[in-house]
Amino acid sequence: MSAPNAHVLMRAPSTSGRTRKGRSFGGGSPLVYGISLVVVALTLGPVLYGVLGGFRTNAQIAENPSGLPGPWVLDNYVGVLTGASFWQYALNSTIVAVLTTVITVVFGVMAAYPLARYEFKGREGLFMVFVVGLLFPATVAIVPLFILITQNLQLGNTWIGVALPQAAFALPVTVVILRPFLAALPKELEEAAQLDGTSRIGFFWRILLPLSGPGMVTVGVLAFVGSWNAYLLPLLLLQSDMRTLPLGVADFSSEHASDTAGVFAFTTLAMIPALVFFLAMQKRIVGGLTGAVKG
């Protein structure tokens, strides 16, 4: 994954999706629509089954697993929504994800700035530190990380104790995506700012940051989604009231294993924030991922 031309791909969002021209070949033959329907059914089937299962009772599910709700019951969803734990988990997930995102984006854009626009000895070496960091999976370091955070830093079971390492592991991809993005902004801007007597730090604040908004949104969305879905690190670091949604879902499912309908309702509600966020940020997520891959 060499980074230098990732900026080319940062434009992916604008060229992907519905704006592109259709290919000259083929078209929608019945076969194509048929296959598409099968793909859609297999993709959404499990999710929809979970959503509908939440509207059934355990008796209904036991009697006919593949039936539809009849009658529809709201009890499962109401039960989850009126209980305190769901909202507590959602709050924890939100705070951890926001902290992770803010730290990742602020530190990432700061580090990417000199790497993109200063000339100094050791610049490429410094950049390589982050590139190599892409290869380090968090799993490898998970046990020492656990010891570091719970024993040395005494940050076990805190929001920031999860957000800091998550941000650290999100930094490589952030720097790798942002550097070419910042480097692509025209040199003339910097020269004009210098003529006006603006310092480089002033240039960073007043010109570079506003212009690199799209790039920061992309890396921010990636960091947010990564944190929102994370399991392993929160599993080791957070207990009881501090648990995030994935932990809450997993624990609810094992504690209420016989309450299938309840598990479906809880899982469905836990899916909603991620799905809404995805629909709102779809282009950014897809663009960021394709940028990271093709870069």
Partner 1 sequence: MTSTAQGGRDKVSRGKVSSAWRKRLEIAFFVTPALALFALFVIWPIITAVQLSVFRWKGFGPLTDFVGLRNYLTVLNDDVFVDAVIHNLIIVGGSIVVQLPLGLAIALLLNRKMWGQGLLRTIIFVPYVLAEVIAGVVWFQLLQPQYGVIDNLLGSVGLEAPEQGWLGDPELALWTVLVVLTWKYLGLAVILFLAGLQSVPEELYEAAQLDGATWWQVQRTITVPLLGPTMRTWAFLSMIGSLQLFDMVWILTGGGPANSTTTMATYLINQGTQSQNFGIAGAASVILFVIALVMAVLYQQLVLSRDTRPDVVTRKKKTREVIR
Could you tell me how far CA 9 lies from the centroid of its own chain?
19
Shortest CB 181 distance to partner 1, Å: 15
Which of 88/146 has CB closer to partner 1? 146
Shortest CB 241 distance to partner 1, Å: 19
Provide DSSP, 245-289: HHHHHHHHHHHTTT-HHHHHHHHHHHHHHHHHHHHHHHHHHHHHH
Report the C-alpha gap between 87 and 220 in whole angstroms.
Answer: 24
Q: How far apart are the first and last CA of the chain?
A: 6
Which of 33/72 has CB closer to partner 1? 33
Which of 94/107 has CB closer to partner 1? 107
Shortest CB 75 distance to partner 1, Å: 18
Shortest CB 78 distance to partner 1, Å: 20
Report the C-alpha gap between 75 and 79 in whole angstroms.
Answer: 6
Shortest CB 230 distance to partner 1, Å: 8
Which of 29/82 has CB closer to partner 1? 29
Q: 131 CB contacts (<8 Å, ≥6 apart)?
A: 1, 3, 172, 176
Which of 154/229 has CB closer to partner 1? 229
Shortest CB 129 distance to partner 1, Å: 7
Which of 55/204 has CB closer to partner 1? 204
Please identify which residue in the block is written with the tokens 């079971």.
157
Report the C-alpha gap between 287 and 252 in whole angstroms.
Answer: 34
Q: 17 CB contacts (<8 Å, ≥6 apart)?
A: 283, 286
- Write phi, then psi, for 207 (nearest 5 degrees): -120, -50
